[in-house]
Structures are given as structure tokens and as C-alpha cells.
Chains A and B, each alone.
Chain A
């Protein structure tokens, strides 16, 4: 079974959609980068100045335990309804 040729107007539309998609991608990238700099940046800077280590990456070699008490949600229905 042979393939139907794609009409010219369809090819033009497909080309245009590809260009728009590329624009959309770049636009999203730019907006997200600005958000990253303006929202994440200042908080990160405060963390650096306060020498915070939220991921506990600095104390590698230690003699104590690396276990933490489990921070599990209690098993009741109200708690189960929450996404936190």
C-alpha cells in the first residue's frame, strides 16, 4: 500500500508548528531561568552565608550513626488525605 503525499498546506502548517514549539521551548527556558535566579538564588545565598547543610553533605566521615529517626506520617485517615 503506497503512502499518500502530504498536501502543501499541511506541510506548511507542520513547519510552522515546529517553529512555534521551538520558540515556546526557548521562552519557557528563559522564564524558568529568571525564576530560578530570583526565587532560588536569594534563599540559596542566605543558606551559603549561614553555612547551612540541608543535604548533610559536609560530615562524611563520622563515628556516629547516619540513621535518622523515621519521620513518617501517622497512620490515620485525616493524615492520609493530605499530600504532606
Chain B
């Protein structure tokens, strides 16, 4: 049986294909269209999934959409009734899109994917919960989903057992932890549904001075982990902004203008909302443990991408095990919709366990060489082991910044060694160099380390694997890796094992043998505002437009100084909207 899950129309459209209960392929639409957070129908991602499976669209048994459009529309209308007349601007902006597209999912699927069969629907948080539980290593687990909003629910608690998945209780719109975080993201001048991770990265620079004020005025956190927001301070239920004038008056500062200087107040606000988020998540987790008595926890939804909060869940318990799917945000809803249909709706037993995040397209050495030859780009094709040794040498001895393109592309928002930019984590200069000259992004933003799984415990205060870069932990004392150590001594760690990424693992091992350090900077292979590269062509262009020194495409090694000048009749910086 072939089931295609799709998520789209809001942000981060994606498609995921199951064949007989096993995941065959999954990808974000943005990687193909080169439009960051592309919300449109995932036609190219679907095309790729079908190609990977070697089937046609007519071979699909079901296409499953990741939420219930009519329930969501009912929530939107109810919100307009409740906020009349202030919701007029939002109404005039949103309704045309609903009438044109969002209410007609089956016909949009037919039109844009060419699919003529049955379209099914799961609820938004069912999709999240399914994406968290079914691919997890657990037979039985408590499930927490938490994001901006789905139909009505913004947060749910549930239990998964075998093929069964039941949501027990929920917090409903407009009371939303995801939207609270997005409101602060907006207030701090960053882009909503895009740059929440920047707030998380900014938090360690500040003092959480406003936690009490937030809990006193904005958030009512109950003993059982449930919460309500004081909507007098927010505008997202009726307007086109997230916060209102009363919010600005409360904190006695206007909203920060995007790209302007961050002041101490802004760092402190970021620190405060981060602490508030962690406290709420921990309260919900404790309550879920009390209710279920289970030892395993699965999480999904955008809030589950908050790896600082995840790190605290791991350290402070009470669950023994935590599993977060790599595409925990809305893109992952595509996978969840397919899995929910397979197991909960059709009653098929579970057989798939996600052991890695590499579910996107791969490109053979032959295809890479054809592309490079067509461009006239000089390169050397090396035997695999020589390539690994050469790259390790350049990273260690030449302090090169390397574009690293290997195997199947990652599923989820993080680069995990398939489409990565790598550099030596021991060299503090690399932090500024990669931020400003290669990624062209804000200088405050930290880089994440990738480390050999078996040596991670020597370098970081962590007692488990973190293969999807979704846990933050402390760098151990005496370990000098300043380029990936945040100001509070923390790091967003990826542990790398040989089974899931042999080339990346062997590179880390070769670097360790040469330097005694099993850690590298691992950041996404893109520039600011650009989706992570998908094809060798994307990778080559990104390499040539930035100050990267070396590009590795499969076993092909390219040096910047040997490349002909890239001639383009447009300014590529104007192609990518700042995130």
C-alpha cells in the first residue's frame, strides 16, 4: 500500500511517502523551489517521493492532508465573530485565500498533483502526535504536541500504544505557547514562523529579568501545566500583527525594527520568554508523566524544536527517554498524516522505526561529474578514503571552510552532515568568519557542533545520543571548542554514528585522529534566507557566491582558487528574502 502525506498552505510544505508502512522518502518543498518556507502544494516534493519509490501518482492508494480545513475555517470565522470589528484587516487578507484555495484541498490536490483517487484528512495535532510516536523506538509512550495552532488545539497530551494513538486533552486557541513565543519573536524584530530559533539563540546573552512580569501579566500557568494567555496584550487573534500597543506599554519599549541593533533589553526579553517557555513545557511534561505513569515521551510541533527546553526535559525528567522526530514542525505533519492513516485509521501494525534523517534525494558521483563538466568547473575525483583524508587535512591544517554534500538530503530543518558547511570548532575565528563571510547572518548567532557519538560524552555533558541536533547541553570543562560554545557554555549538539552517516562519521574520525578533537562546526549549507541546498548545482552556486574554501560533492573535491569566476547577470542577494 502506498500512502502519501502532504502538509501545505501555511508554511513549510512537505511530502512523505509510505510504502507498506515503511518510509520511502520525505522532503520539504522549499528545497526544490528554492523559496524558503514555501507554503504551496508540495508538487515537486511529491514528484521526488514518487521517483524515489519508482511509482506513478496513480499507484498511490491514498493522499492524506495533514489537517481538517473545515474545522480550521470554523475556528477562523468564530474568531472573526469574537473580535468584530477589529478583525476587518485580517478578514480581507485571509478570506480570499481560503475561498480560492484552502477550502478546496481535494481539487487542489487533483489539479496540482494530478492525483485522481481518495483524499483523506487527519487533524493537525493527530498528525503531529503520529509523526512523534509511530516512528519512535517505543512500543508505548506519552505524547506531547505543542505549536502555534492547528484547527482549535494548540497543545495536546496523548498516549501511544502499539498501533493506537489517543489524544487525551488539549489547550485551545487563542491560548498557545507557540504563538506566545512567536509574539516575542515579532516584538524582537524577527520574522514569525521563521526566526523563532534566533530568539532561542539570543537568550543566553540576556538576563531573564522579565519572567515574573510575563507570568504576572501575560501568562496564567496552572498547577497541571495548562495555561491561558491574557489576550489584552496580543493582536494575533484579530490583527495582522502579533502584539499590540498595550504589550509595548507593558515593557516600556517599542517593537524592535528588523535588522536594527540588539540592545540589552532585547537580549533580556529573549532570555525571559525562553525561561517562561521552558517552565511551561516542563510543567506540561510533569503533568503528562503524572497522568500516564509512562517512562517514554515523544514530542512534536514547532515548540519541540526548542532544543534548550528539550535539554531541560532530558536533564530534569521525570521521563527516562525523550524522542523528537527531526521534522518536528509543520513539515513533519506530512509524515504524521501518512502514518496516522496507516496505523490508526487502517489498523496496520507498526513496522517502521526512524533511525536517521536522510530521506531526501541523493546524487550519484556520475551525475555530479556530469554537472561539473557541463559547468567547466575544475575538480578532482578521489577514492573515498583519500577524499576523507584530504578534507580532514584541509579542515585541520588549512583551517578551510568546507561545503559538504553527501548522500540523501536531510528531512527536517537541520543540516546533519548531508548538506552542511563544516569548519574547525577549535578556532574561535571560524565563528565570525562563517557567520559574516559565508552565511551573511547576524554575528550573535551560535554554531552547532557535530561530534563522534562514542566520544560525545567526553566533550559534552550528555548521557545519550542527539542525532537530530535537538538537544542543548553544556560543553565539558577543559574542552576548548569556542566556535561552537555559546556564551553560557552550552552547545546544540549533533552526535554522529557510523550507521546513519558513514562519510560524515569517517570525516569526524579522521579529523579526530589528526587533531585529537572529534568535533566540527556543522551549519546548514545555505546563505541567510536561502533554503538548504538540494542539488549539486545549488551547492556549487552557494560555494561560489560565498567565501567557502573547499566544496566536496560526493567524492569530488573542488578548490575555490581553481574555479573560474562565477558570472551572473543578477544580484543573488536579492533572490533571498532575509529571514
Contact = CB atoms under 8 A, between A and B. Distances in A.
Interface of A: 1, 28-29, 32-33, 35-37, 40-41, 43-45, 47, 52-57, 59-73, 75-77, 80-84
A65 B96 contact: no
B222 A65 contact: yes
Contact of B170 (A36, A47, A68, A81): A68
Nearest to B347: A75
Given A73-B123, A83-B121, A57 B346 contact: no
Nearest to B230: A60
Interface of B: 64, 68-71, 77-85, 87-88, 91-92, 95-96, 105, 118, 120-123, 125-126, 152-153, 156-158, 165-175, 220, 222, 224, 226-228, 230-231, 237, 340-341, 344-346, 569
Contact of A66 (B70, B83, B88, B227): B227
Given A55-B78, A73-B126, A83 B105 contact: yes
Contacts of B222: 62-66
A68 B220 CA distance: 16
Contacts of B231: 55, 57
Given A43-B81, A80-B345, A67 B169 contact: yes
Given A65-B226, A71-B170, 7 more contacts: A53-B82, A54-B81, A54-B82, A55-B78, A70-B170, A77-B345, A83-B121
Contacts of A67: 157, 169-171, 224, 226
A5 B227 CA distance: 61
Contact of A80 (B79, B171, B341): B341
Residue of A57, A68, A84 with highest tally of chain B CB at under 10 A: A57
A36 B91 contact: yes
Contacts of B121: 80-83
Contacts of A84: 68, 70-71
Given A36-B92, A41-B85, A66 B345 contact: no
Contacts of B220: 60-62, 66
Contacts of B228: 56, 59-60, 62, 66
Contacts of B68: 73, 82-84
Contacts of B157: 67, 70
22 contacts: A32-B91, A36-B84, A37-B85, A40-B84, A40-B91, A43-B81, A56-B175, A57-B174, A57-B231, A60-B228, A60-B230, A66-B226, A66-B227, A68-B169, A71-B153, A72-B167, A73-B123, A75-B344, A76-B345, A77-B120, A83-B121, A84-B68
A54 B168 CA distance: 21
**A contact patch SS:** loop
A82 B91 CA distance: 25
A37 to B, nearest CB: 8
B123 A55 contact: no
A24 B231 CA distance: 35
A44 B345 contact: no
A37 B222 CA distance: 38
Most B CB contacts (10 A, CB to CB) among A35, A45, A52, A73 go to A73
Contacts of A43: 81
Q: In the A-B complex, list the 8 residue pairs whose CB atoms are closest, starting with the nearest.
A: A44-B84, A66-B226, A75-B344, A70-B167, A80-B120, A67-B169, A84-B70, A83-B70
Contacts of A47: 81-82
Given A32-B96, A70-B167, A55 B174 contact: yes
Nearest to A66: B226
Given A40-B80, A80-B122, A70 B91 contact: no
Nearest to B228: A66
Contacts of B158: 70
Contacts of B569: 1
A77 B346 contact: yes
Given A32-B92, A80-B122, A66 B171 contact: yes
A67 B157 CA distance: 9
Contacts of B170: 67-71
Contacts of A45: 84
Contacts of B96: 28, 32
B82 A33 contact: no
B331 to A, nearest CB: 21
B120 to A, nearest CB: 4
B211 to A, nearest CB: 18
A57 B289 CA distance: 28
Contacts of A83: 68-71, 105, 121
Nearest to A3: B569
Given A75-B345, A81-B118, A40 B172 contact: no
A72 B123 contact: yes
A22 to B, nearest CB: 15
Contacts of B346: 77
Which has the most chain B C-beta neighbours within 10 Å: A67, A69, A71? Answer: A67
B84 A33 contact: no
Contacts of A56: 172, 175, 228
Contacts of B83: 55
Contacts of B172: 56, 68
Contacts of A57: 82, 174, 231
Contacts of B123: 72-73
A70 B345 contact: no
A13 to B, nearest CB: 24
